[in-house]
Amino acid sequence: MLCDICGKKQATVHLTEIIDDQMTELHLCEPCAKEKGAQMEKHFDLSDLLAGLADMGSAPGLQVDEKVKCPNCGMNYQDFKAIGQLGCSECYKAFKKNLIPLLKRIHGSIQYFGKMPAVSAARSLKPGAAKSKAASALQQLEDYKARLHKAIQEEEFEQAARLRDKIKELESKK
């Protein structure tokens, strides 16, 4: 199949675009696909996504104070929405009231629990060191997730279902 744009080279990339509820399939060669990708990046920017999420779905009665400025770098909330990046670490404190709903919408939580492979976590604890309940629960959760992945790979679906239920139970306790 030849490229839909240049009509000269073999199409190796197949795109499906949906614009205004109309589906269009494009079959492109690599150079045309790269050009099409560059055009798409111009139309879709991360800052546009963040700005849309910042404006979208605000709770009724929640006022976004766009006049607040970061005392450290001078950035205001409008600048953040336009750029899609905070200016410094102090911006998190200055815009906390506005960022919390945004972070909940994007990540589902405002708290970061981190990630550590089960083997590394076990090695990082010295023998006899007391583990906190939170660290222990997090370690157990990571262990269950790894075991779930292995059970799915080995097509042990009954075991996978039991592990899935244990994971849900642990996550609900957080």
Residues 88 and 40 in one domain: no
pLDDT tens per residue, range 30-63: 888 888 765 555 445 555 555 555 555 444 444 5
Boundaries of domain holding 2: 1-44
Percent of the chain with pLDDT over 70: 67
Are 42 and 34 spatial neighbours (Cβ–Cβ below 8 Å)? no
Among 61, 80, 107, residue at a domain's last position: 107
Q: How would residue 22 be classed by pLDDT, with cut points 50, 70 and 90?
A: confident
Are 11 and 1 spatial neighbours (Cβ–Cβ below 8 Å)? yes
Distances (CA, A) of 103 to 50, 53, 123, 129: 10, 10, 32, 34
Which of residues 71 and 99 earns the better pLDDT score?
A: 71
pLDDT value at position 71? 92
Residue 164 lies in a domain: yes
Are 70 and 94 spatial neighbours (Cβ–Cβ below 8 Å)? yes
Q: What number is the average pLDDT over the span 2-9?
A: 89
Residue 113 lies in a domain: no
Q: Is the pTM of this model over 0.85?
A: no
pLDDT tens per residue, range 84-115: 788 898 998 898 888 888 777 776 777 766 66
Residues 161 and 130 in one domain: yes
Residues 30 and 65 in one domain: no
Residue 10 DSSP SS3: strand
